[in-house]
Amino acid sequence: MNFQQLKIIREAARCEFNLTEVANTLFTSQSGVSRHIRDLEDELGVEIFIRRGKRLLGMTEPGKALLTIAERILDEAGKVRRLADVFTNQTSGILTIATTHTQARYSLPRVIKAFRQLYPNVRLELNQGSPQEIVTMLMAGEADIGIASEQLVNNPNLAAFPWFSWHHALLVPKGHELEQHQPVSLNKLSQHPLITYRQGITGRSRVDRAFQSAGLRPDVVLSAQDSDVVKTYVKLGLGVGILADQACETEAGEDLTRIDVSHLFEANTVWLGLKRGQLQRNYVWQFLELCNANLSLEEIKRQALSYASEEEQIIDFQI
């Protein structure tokens, strides 16, 4: 048994058992991947994959157990490789942050500016994606910190810490009739075409839940991942925008009006996520503290450096 075989087992599960994709990910050949799988099955004396002809359809029960062990071994091996870097490069290196467009565009600039003043020799990489993509990047070790309003608190292998709370707001063209009907009701809002975030993005679930609870079916004519895209189509008059309040800033000359609807939708929380048990450089902890000074660094380290257990709960810090 070797590390390459374990990597193939892990990537096979990630690539939905497509051996061509596994080979491309690991920069090897498909025939080499197949050979490694056969050798490992011969060594263990069990079948790891469910097959139909030459196609892999899934994992057997022994295969699933092996996948869990393989992920743990590869994760620990990754920590060994990071060890020297963590202890020798405390003020230089790369900080990779996976986040949504809304946080990258509206919430992070202040923090990143302050961070750069403290760590001028640390290069920052911002990878934008959906909350699920952010979780995937954290779990794969492709990001040091994940920032999003959804998904991060649902994975027991991540330690999640609150940053700030926010509400949705409306953005309408100036002169829109909703300006004359404040406070806006859900019933009134449902009578207009709506433009908002797509499913799974920036508190969309809370918007949907509010309408469902009221027995209303909103007319969402366009949904997008990007706040600026939503704003663009509101400007074109295609509908009323429901956005994160921090994304509703209007520039001089823009014919748009922001309307408070915090009474209609539940508050949302932006979470800071770290992979549990992952060695971190000091500047990672410093970045979290810059985001929310109310967080206890001792408690962050305690939870982030521990491994997941069923009993552990997300810490409810005051924000």
Q: Where, residue-wise, is CATH 3.40.190.10 in the chain?
A: 91-165+268-304, 168-260
Is residue 283 within 8 Å of 95, Cβ to Cβ?
Answer: yes
pLDDT digits (tens, 9 = 90+) for 246-297: 998 766 567 899 999 999 999 999 999 999 888 788 899 889 999 998 888 8
pLDDT digits (tens, 9 = 90+) for 4-39: 888 899 998 888 889 888 888 888 888 888 889 988
> Would you place residue 315 in the very low, low, confident or very high pLDDT band (cuts 50, 70, 90)?
very low
- When computed from its CA atoms, the radius of gyration of the chain, rounded to whole angstroms, is 23
Give me the pLDDT at residue 316, please: 37
Query: What phi, psi does 255 have (nearest 5°)?
Result: -90, 60
Pairing of β 122-128 and β 145-148: unpaired
Domain 168-260 grouped into CATH 3.40.190.10: yes
- Say yes or no to pLDDT of 311 above 60: no
How far is CA 239 from its chain centroid?
28
Q: Is 311 exposed, middle or buried (0-12, 13-18, 19+ CB in 10 A)?
A: exposed
Q: Where, residue-wise, is CATH 1.10.10.10 in the chain?
A: 3-85
Class of domain 3-85: mainly alpha
Task: Name the superfamily (CATH) of residues 91-165+268-304.
Answer: Periplasmic binding protein-like II (3.40.190.10)
- Out of 49-53, 90-94, 136-140, 212-216, the most confident range is 212-216
CA angle 153, 157, 163 (to 5 degrees): 35
Distance CA 78, CA 141 (A): 9
Q: Which two tokens stand for residue 217?
A: 């079916």
> Would you place residue 317 in the very low, low, confident or very high pLDDT band (cuts 50, 70, 90)?
very low
Is residue 103 within 8 Å of 148, Cβ to Cβ?
Answer: yes
What percent of the chain stands above pLDDT 90? 47
Mean pLDDT, the chain, as a whole number? 87
